[in-house]
Structure 1
């Protein structure tokens, strides 16, 4: 388990997840190394839309994006924006996860969106999920999470409530059939 790299994977919170920050969540892992892991929850909308967020930071929002939602990305740095988006655009603080997904934390991505020159597909989250070295591996051993290789269409093309079941389908599992009891062979 120590050598598994979960970059570009989904973490599916098991039904027994007791942490309210992650219960019922689907988290996209943007970076995983021996130093720890960084991910963004992609299925938990918050009571804030892009129009309000852009107004708060002094930017205008193109007409077609009014009403788009903002997500709870995780419990770390919840006052900071994390934008998952499609390449090829990069900004001053962009982590290119792969050829289909990038993560940007700098305001210039939102400025580009405001000017109609932003990424083709994106979601905006406040906060991120972070794990220290070995922490995620320990949680996986405790059956807190299932993992599956990510499909960017789940992030960018599905409604938030459809994302967790779609990720489960990638594993060939019906979420309703999962038990909150862990078992070990």
Structure 2
């Protein structure tokens, strides 16, 4: 799936920040999430890890699902900030002056290619490599968007992440019929305006679910 984000001759954000990235990082009632019996394609939605998640790399994860088709799926985890890595560190590693923009946290985007950068962003900016995920946000992976952000001509809303989550053909569909994931609409306000540590609870709350009362089973909002 990584090939889908590279374009002819465009630099991508695969370099590691030079000095920062190596630093380390009950209820009375329970809600039963019904199993999903029929898999479909859900690009532009959120995937939230359920208590039945067996892969501990995704425990309590919130993933913005960006690509999902017959060939597989690609998503960016948006629920955890990286320790000791911020936007200015990333810009500095590419010799980009970031002094004019806020020093925002960088998210831990997933276990695949953890040195590779991605930006989830509003659609008021678009480069040649942009993938429009839904009607309100897209995904870019080239240096063009970092330069645009640093020069204050980039998207009005954005999140920067290192790494991604990837699934082969049919793999995510299989997981979604088990007890691993809850599916929710990919609301842009929840994506961009809710702090990373609060996203999971906020997305569940928007679906009418108290995340503290979850038990196993997969499902959707």
TM-score, structure 1 as length reference: 0.92
Residue 143 of structure 1 deviates from its aligned partner by 1.1
For residues 31 and 114 of structure 1, the distance between their equivalents in structure 2, rounded to whole angstroms, comes to 27
Question: RMSD over aligned Cα, in angstroms?
Answer: 1.5
| Residue number among 87, 97, 103 corresponding to 1:60 in the alignment | 97
Question: How many equivalent residue pairs?
Answer: 181
Q: Trace 1:1-185 onto structure 2 (pairs within 5 A).
A: 4-47=40-83, 48-66=85-103, 68-179=104-215, 181-182=216-217
Residue 40 of structure 1 deviates from its aligned partner by 0.5
SS state at 1:146 partner: strand
For residues 124 and 157 of structure 2, the distance between their equivalents in structure 1, rounded to whole angstroms, comes to 11
Q: Does the CA contact (< 8 Å) of 1:45 and 1:69 recur in 2?
A: yes
Q: Show structure 1 runs of 5+ residues with no match.
A: none
SS state at 2:60 partner: coil
Indicate the structure (1 or 2) with the bigger Cα radius of gyration.
2
For residues 95 and 54 of structure 2, the distance between their equivalents in structure 1, rounded to whole angstroms, comes to 38
For residues 42 and 217 of structure 2, the distance between their equivalents in structure 1, rounded to whole angstroms, comes to 21
Structure with the bigger RCO (C-alpha within 8 Å, sep 6+) is 2
Query: What does residue 21 of structure 2 align with?
Result: none
For residues 94 and 79 of structure 1, the distance between their equivalents in structure 2, rounded to whole angstroms, comes to 19
Residue 64 of structure 1 deviates from its aligned partner by 4.2
For residues 133 and 111 of structure 1, the distance between their equivalents in structure 2, rounded to whole angstroms, comes to 34
Change (3 A) 1:53 1:79: same
TM-score, structure 2 as length reference: 0.78
Runs of 4+ in 1 over 3 A off after TM superposition: none
SS state at 1:118 partner: coil
